[in-house]
Amino acid sequence: MKIAVVGAGAIGAYVGAALHRGGAEVHLIARRDHLRAIQENGVRVLSARGDFTAHPHATDDPNEIGPVDYVFLGLKAHSYPTSGALITPLLGEHTAVVAGQNGIPWWYFHQLKGPYEGRRIEAVDPGGATSEVLPPQRAIGCVVYPATVIESPGVIRHLEGTRFSIGEPGGELSDRCTALSEAMIAGGLKCPVEENLRDDIWIKLMGNAAFNPISALTRATMVDICRHPSTRTMVTRVMEEILDVAARVGSRPDISIEKRLRGAEGVGHHKTSMLQDLEAGKQLELDAIVTAVVEMADITGAEAPTLRTVHAATDLLARTVAA
Q: Which residues are catalytic?
A: 204
Contact 229, 262 (CB under 8 A): no
Dist CA 145 CA 237 (whole Å): 24
Distant-in-sequence, close-in-space partners of 286: CB < 8 Å, separation ≥ 6: 213, 274, 311, 314, 315, 318
Amino acid residing at 252:
R
φ, ψ (nearest 5 deg) of residue 225: -65, -40
Dist CA 164 CA 71 (whole Å): 15
Contact 51, 44 (CB under 8 A): yes
Contact 30, 8 (CB under 8 A): yes
- CA triplet 192, 196, 198: central angle to 5 degrees? 105
Dist CA 235 CA 207 (whole Å): 9
CB 27: neighbour CB atoms within 10 A? 23
φ, ψ (nearest 5 deg) of residue 70: -135, 140
Dist CA 172 CA 202 (whole Å): 19
Dist CA 211 CA 204 (whole Å): 11
